Amino acid sequence: MTNKRERTIYNWEDEEDYYLPLWYSHLNNNEWEPEPEIFQKSFLSHDKNILSFSGSMNDCFEIVFDVLGYNVIDITTKQELDQINNYEGVILKGGSDISPKLYKEKNQYSNGINGKRDFIEGLLIRKALRDNKPIMGICRGHQMITAFFGGTLFQDITKQKKKFDNIRPIAHRATHHQIIANNLLKKYIPHTFVNSYHHQAVKKVPDGFKVLAYAHDSVIESIYKPGILGVQFHPEALATDYYQSSFDWIQLFEWFVSGLQP
């Protein structure tokens, strides 16, 4: 019988292989699982919860989900996650790059890799799948969904994309640009002018997902399958930026909490 430690560390979908730390051989044994910090629920103001890991624009998420009547619980350990059964979905927030090991590549241009975060977000995705809860990934989270389900990334758009498809990329770091969205996504967004804060992007779309939006340079801006949505832009910032956008972007999060069905 094959020992679990002899298995490939990239078999994301093997339900028996729950030894997620083995995916992160670049970590020391004590780095991926710190002492548990038991989550205290006394300050929660709503009866419904969204699970996540702390990332970029946390305050924006708090505002959006408070309006919708949800708490955002940032999970930090497996022990915390095991104690929570009352939740309505998982949000994967923005942040630094995921480990290229998750999509079977060597690191060429990835920065700020956080193995603990990769590990916890892998657990969050598995929990949501088992409990039939919706999953929404934003920017880094969009890329995490891609890697989890077997897709790949451009580690740096400017250095790799033109060589791949001969299309020169537009600016994607700290800017705004138009996207080309299909009719399903258009139902839940007020317009197609989005923000952009990334240097990586989806290269190979995971099997079973379809693309809902592209940028004009063919960068994939959204992927979807029923119950799971990834977007490369930041709708939480668009919904809460008083000067540049509209709270109508909350429609996208309403779709998420309703289950992300077509």
Side chain identity, residue 141: G
pLDDT of residue 171: 56
**In the beta sheet, which residues pair with residue 51?**
73, 90
List all residues 6 or more positions away from 238 whose beta carbon is below 8 Å from its beta carbon. 194, 195, 244, 245, 246, 249
Return the CATH architecture of domain 20-28+44-257: 3-Layer(aba) Sandwich (3.40)
Domain ranges of the chain: 20-28+44-257
**Which residue, among 156, 139, 159, 146, has the nearest Cα to 104 in the 3D structure?**
146
User: 202 has which bridge partners?
Assistant: 153, 220
Confidence at residue 166, expressed as pLDDT on a 0 to 100 scale? 54
Q: What is the pLDDT of residue 164?
A: 55
Q: Tens of pLDDT along the chain (262 residues)?
A: 433 333 333 343 433 333 243 333 333 334 444 433 433 343 467 899 999 999 999 999 999 999 999 999 999 999 999 999 999 999 999 999 999 999 999 999 999 999 999 999 999 999 999 999 999 999 999 999 999 999 999 999 988 876 556 566 665 666 788 999 999 999 999 999 999 888 999 999 999 999 999 998 889 999 999 999 999 999 999 998 755 557 899 999 999 999 999 9
Say whether 236 is catalytic. Answer: yes
The catalytic residue among 142, 172, 177, 234 is 234
139 counts as catalytic: yes
Q: Is 199 an annotated catalytic residue?
A: no
Its sign, for the CA torsion 205, 206, 211, 215, is negative
Which residue among 60, 139, 142, 198 is the active-site one? 139
